[in-house]
Amino acid sequence: MSTGPGPNGRDDLVRSKHPATVLAGPYGHPFHATVVMIPIGAWTASVIFDIASLFTDDRELFVVGAQWLIAIGVVGAVVAAVLGLLDLRVIAPATKARRTALTHLGFNLAAVVLFALSWIVRVAGPEGDLSVLGIILAWVAFLLVGVSGFLGGELAYRYGVRVAEEQTQRNGFLAPADRR
């Protein structure tokens, strides 16, 4: 990992902890990490709706519900991607963290495409009908989101991207008189 001065004379690791712009969220509180809950939650619920639709005689509610949840997830993923690209800007090139971030981006892009295709396949069929291809596409995409989530965890928890510096964290565990 490069620990030399970055373009602004700051250490690459320290630079990766600060937002590229106010739109990315304040220091220590990246918006990307918050907004990704929208697509993850929507897509998780869509998979649950898919499973429920397989075990009920009244499938239409779950089939249509899964379609809506997939669409909500795709829209949320686009917003999360924009915020993720802002965070990507602060990661130094030619580092393991940057390669991990680009792999994370690739898995997310593939998942969004598969979820979008799943949605298209589902809405192209008769309303309320179960689409096996749509379900398969969504479930494969959901697995990709899981892999991507692991990589996102690596970025935040192993490499400390957009996480407060250790001294800031340490201050949270000190008595008020001991804080710097």
Q: What is the pLDDT of residue 9?
A: 36
Is residue 37 situated within a structural domain? Answer: yes
Range of the domain at 100: 22-166
Is residue 131 situated within a structural domain? Answer: yes
Of residues 170 and 36, which shows the higher confidence score? 36
Give the pLDDT confidence of 124-167 residue by residue, as tens digits.
Answer: 998 878 899 999 999 999 999 999 999 999 998 898 888 877 77
Give the pLDDT confidence of 44-94 residue by residue, as tens digits.
Answer: 999 999 999 999 998 999 999 999 999 999 999 999 999 999 999 989 999
Is residue 7 situated within a structural domain? Answer: no
> Cβ atoms within 10 A of the Cβ of 57, count?
4
Look up residue 122 and give its two tokens.
């589902």
Instruction: Please tell me the total count of domains within the chain.
Output: 1
Is residue 11 situated within a structural domain? Answer: no
Is residue 12 situated within a structural domain? Answer: no
Q: What is the pLDDT of residue 2?
A: 46
Is residue 3 situated within a structural domain? Answer: no
Is residue 67 situated within a structural domain? Answer: yes
Is residue 149 situated within a structural domain? Answer: yes
> How far is 7 from 92, CA to CA, in rounded Å?
9
> How far is 100 from 66, CA to CA, in rounded Å?
31
Look up residue 20 and give its two tokens.
């590229």
What integer is the mean pLDDT of 31-39? 91
Cβ–Cβ under 8 Å, residues 127 and 157: no
